[in-house]
Amino acid sequence: MKIVNRLVNPFEREGAWYRANLHTHTTTSDGNLPVAERLRQYQEKGYSVLAFTDHLKTNDVTLLSSEGLLVLSGMETHPLCPGGDLYHLVCLNIPHGFDFPEATDANERIALVKKAGGEVIVGHPYWCGHNLNQLLPLAGYIGIEVYNATCTRIGKGFSSVHWDDLLDVGVVTPAVASDDVHSGGRDIFMGWTMVKAQELTPDSIMESLRSGCYYASCGPIIEDFRLKDNKVGLKCSPVQEIHFICQRSNGLSFYAEKGKEITEAEIQLTENIKYVRAEVVDRQGRHAWTNPFIFND
Same domain, 134 and 253: no
Same domain, 81 and 201: yes
Same domain, 182 and 269: no
For residue 10, tell me if it sits in a domain.
no
**Residue 165: how many CA atoms within 13 Å on its side-chain side?**
15
Q: Please say whether the dihedral angle defined by the alpha carbons of residues 6, 23, 70 and 216, taken in this order, is positive or negative.
A: negative
For residue 31, tell me if it sits in a domain.
yes
The neighbouring-strand residues paired with 217 are 192, 288
Same domain, 233 and 188: no
For residue 3, tell me if it sits in a domain.
no
User: Where does a domain end: 184, 217, 250?
Assistant: 217
Same domain, 194 and 275: no
User: Where does a domain end: 217, 241, 259?
Assistant: 217
Buried b / exposed e across 139-151, counting CB within 10 Å, b at 16+? Answer: eebbbbbbbbbbb
For residue 4, tell me if it sits in a domain.
no
- The pTM of this model reads 0.97
For residue 6, tell me if it sits in a domain.
no
Same domain, 212 and 226: no
pLDDT tens figures, 196-206: 999 999 999 99
User: Where does a domain end: 170, 196, 217?
Assistant: 217
DSSP 2: -
Same domain, 250 and 149: no
Q: From first to last of its 297 residues, what are the pLDDT tens digits of the chain?
A: 677 777 999 999 999 999 999 999 999 999 999 999 999 999 999 999 999 999 999 999 999 999 999 999 999 999 999 887 899 999 999 999 999 998 899 999 999 999 999 999 999 999 999 999 999 999 999 999 999 999 999 999 999 999 999 999 999 999 999 999 999 889 999 999 999 999 999 999 999 999 999 999 999 999 999 999 999 999 999 999 999 999 999 999 999 999 999 999 999 999 999 999 999 999 999 999 999 999 964
State the Cα–Cα distance between residues 121 and 100, nearest whole angstrom: 17
State the Cα–Cα distance between residues 19 and 190, nearest whole angstrom: 12
The neighbouring-strand residues paired with 16 are 197
Same domain, 140 and 262: no
Longest CA–CA span in the chain (Å) reads 58
Same domain, 97 and 164: yes
**Domain containing residue 279:** 222-294
**CATH label of the domain that carries residue 237:** 2.60.40
DSSP assignment of 167-185 equals HHTT----EEEE--BSSSS
Q: How many domains does the chain have?
A: 2
